Structure 1
């Protein structure tokens, strides 16, 4: 039964079936945000329980098919899937915890990441890039803080809503970095300080051009390393399978030779 379940869980048809059910679960969650007739609400409730039972059966099959049961829960994705399924089984729809139950069902859509290997590579790349990204984000925060303080000192009297304090100034600078009507902010201060355009252009150069491109470069670099590691792993698995096939072929040749010698 273990080998049968392993073949089923590793089958592409089964994987795409799970993906289809996850998409159906997302559609059910979206449908519940509308005002629906009571009959349709009951139908969605039963459908939601059917999806939950399917996920329970799927995670159970994967657990039974795993060669090392302790190693199964060493994977963060398996732990995440198990927690989502277990919490979804708790009947809390009509209690004070109904909001938490709905939030957990929303997070079931994230199971798409644990099922599709390409999405797992993307998430793992982002997590591994976080140590390098943290230094870039720290440097970006320093730039925000310096420019926010300067903007608050000079432009506070022009528009207190945008430059009243350093926190508000940093929010305004975030608006400038994302190019959300930033020229209106610049032209307003240029009426009092004609050279204030240099303040905005230098800030945009440091943040939108330099630091954001550094973030993209770090993520792409880590993603390339993850893809290369994944390709090496697949290559090693294929080599192991080829070696096993070679050994089987050699044993078959030896058996054939013994049979022929016996017939002689």
Structure 2
């Protein structure tokens, strides 16, 4: 058990697991190629199973060492579900279960603090962005109803109903051929249609999307600052600990010198 504990605590263990996760992800990606030969598929599946064996060994080691504490970490539960599912369906034709293991790439974030900050910022921004998305949906719905009423009769393929209108408006918002495929054909029939599209673009692409970007940027700045403070606190504690250790070493050295001086005095006497 001590050996397993040391192996899990070894500073390079997580790097090795991360490398295996990335290798497994690459293999799973290559296996999606339909043009692979039988020999290539056999080799890739062998590598995939070897990666699975490593994941199982890691999981069993953690279960033996951490026991009940294993279930207190969400990442451990996620790993258990993914690896256990892969073992259960290892001989099955259900390829989606094997593909589900690609989500273990998220665990590689632990090795990259910068990615951790970005993901944490996105998660933190979700509550604020959700209200922005609600507002965006309302604007989409309003303009979809108006668009269907204004242009549905002449352009049923673009504004034939609320659903189709919202899809057309999404194309307009993303600027994907919105002028040539949507706006200009309508303007040939109804010249003032440009007002409708420009107002919609100003409200969505220029205003609301920039608001969302601002929310994420603010969250990134907040979390980055918090991470810097946390790292500074760790460095301070480490420096204090190193200073304490240096003081202890100095005390021991002085004590040895005093003992040597006492021995010399005793010999002279």
Common topology (TM > 0.5): yes
Question: After TM superposition, where is structure 1 displaced by more than 4 Å over at least 4 residues in a row?
Answer: 59-66
Alignment of 1:20-99 (within 5 A): 20-33=19-32, 34-59=34-59, 70=69, 73-94=71-92, 98-99=94-95
Mark the structure with the bigger radius of gyration: 2
Count of equivalent residues: 257
Conserved 8 A contact 1:151-1:163:
yes
Conserved 8 A contact 1:87-1:104:
no
For each residue in 1:155-211, what CA deviation from the matched residue of structure 2 results, as whole angstroms up to 9, or x when unmatched?
011111111111111111001001111113111221232111011011111111111
Say which SS state the counterpart of residue 241 (structure 2) adopts.
helix
- 1:23 and 1:75, CA in 2 relative to 1: closer, same or farther beyond 3 A? same
- 1:167 and 1:35, CA in 2 relative to 1: closer, same or farther beyond 3 A? same
* 1: CA distance, partners of 2:14 / 2:202: 45
Deviation at 1:62, TM superposition (A): 6.0
Task: Using structure 2 for the length normalisation, give the TM-score.
Answer: 0.84
Partner of 2:155: 159
Task: Using structure 1 for the length normalisation, give the TM-score.
Answer: 0.86
Conserved 8 A contact 1:177-1:207:
yes
- 1:17 and 1:92, CA in 2 relative to 1: closer, same or farther beyond 3 A? closer
* 1: CA distance, partners of 2:166 / 2:114: 36
Partner of 1:5: 7
Conserved 8 A contact 1:28-1:44:
yes
1:169 has 2:168 as partner: no
Give the root-mean-square deviation of aligned CA atoms: 2.5
Deviation at 1:213, TM superposition (A): 0.7
Deviation at 1:133, TM superposition (A): 0.3
Say which SS state the counterpart of residue 191 (structure 1) adopts.
helix
Deviation at 1:137, TM superposition (A): 0.6
Deviation at 1:140, TM superposition (A): 0.7
Alignment of 1:81-230 (within 5 A): 81-94=79-92, 98-183=94-179, 184-230=181-227
- 1:239 and 1:60, CA in 2 relative to 1: closer, same or farther beyond 3 A? farther
* 1: CA distance, partners of 2:228 / 2:65: 24
* 1: CA distance, partners of 2:59 / 2:114: 20
Match of 2:228 among 227, 231, 234: 231
Deviation at 1:6, TM superposition (A): 5.0
Q: Which runs of 5+ in 2 are unaligned?
A: 263-269
- 1:258 and 1:218, CA in 2 relative to 1: closer, same or farther beyond 3 A? same
